[in-house]
Structure 1
């Protein structure tokens, strides 16, 4: 996010999260553009979200326990203006009102679901998918008869990017970064360099501290204001231009390639590097910048990702 001082931002994570972790993230609400992305692999039925299944079928006019958490979820990801103190009870917060219906329709449209405005089973399944925690869109005020639809690649709010004089970027690995995961991250950088038509080049720095892009494995609270949660929660997060930090959670299950019940390092590195370069999420499910991921699979760059980068930098 080049148009703002990067010190104002917490990381734009691409962190996968099931609904079970969302309330942990949202229990201390702040401006969503200042929060990292999050991901959890816990089952939704055991989440502090309450049971999503218990709310299935909820629609406008209903008052159901847990609707307040649904509002917080949609607010966190940019579909609803909703700012409430989580420590204060309000009976009206579990009421499914007009604004929530519009917000839910907007979410359904974004994820190619039927825009019913009802919390149906396909919508619940999508909310339970591992995903990047960065908001899908800039928070805006919904009206009863309109909602925002995004069609393809996007740029981070404020359109941050690296200055034209900074087209050669160096990267470094922190002292505890496993050596076996360095090659897939290097491959991810090389793929983005090729995608940019060599507008960007990336080389490994002689020192971690001197690198433009600092990549490390971290655990729990690690000094950037966005602690990880141990195994089964946050996977990674990255800062926008020109901060350059990218953190992977050392307590998660990482692998090289499509290994069941693990996340592919190169796939997540590709996604996070996209954020480091200024790209937001795409609405194309095949794109590396799509906000949701699955364990045991690999993904690569698509034409949508490449077009987004080239449009951002006028290549």
Structure 2
């Protein structure tokens, strides 16, 4: 749309605080031991900066302790009874919560299906990251000799009124050494002491069914990188960095991120979209319907498709049959869509 002249592209030639853009380091997790959360190189960098009185921001866009609780004996998983999604394990209050319909239950003492007492978390969220980082850095001391302090900012830790403001004030005051959080900490904050930003496991968006996901990921990572090195005076002492831990370090998205080159990323994305005839090289409309069951929702959409078939043909429009949405059921409501 900017190339067509419909929008004007605004370019910001300098940063707040006149600091340089952070140097982007990519860590190939294929070369790390299995189940590694923080590479040894990243841990060393965090230790070094904490001992110098600098702050670190760690980004993981997944809240909770683990996205799934499961039983290794019978393969039971914490499925939400009302949605096509798993309930997320929150360790602090020992609950399983659905982040789509808010259905909440206490964690069962044993597997509801087979009675196995050894049910285990699968995957990682910000809660687990905060806990794990505290264990790994338990020997690190601040410049005043005190143990380092880790804070977590996400939708769970800031639910109470005034909590977000209180935590941000602590970060600005230098009372926090490592800030762990979701996208809430990546945009719009002026953290003058942050010199290192680390993005963990951002690969999921690279292979999403939504063709816009890479664009959103690039925007998020660029915004996160912008939290580092906002004080030019501090940069003279310690150049800022962004670390990205990924299993696909050669992906064009990370190549463009390393150069802070949005035009190169946009050109690559536009080339892919042109080959696949995706927007902006075509127009798409997604029609959705909801019902208590999937059949009537799809029937309504297919009836609409049949009713407009003649007009669509004359206008050279393709209308595809109705299908369930990727998130098929939310709060006991079935959802279908037609492209």
Bin for the TM-score computed over the shorter chain? under 0.3
Q: Which has the larger radius of gyration?
A: 2
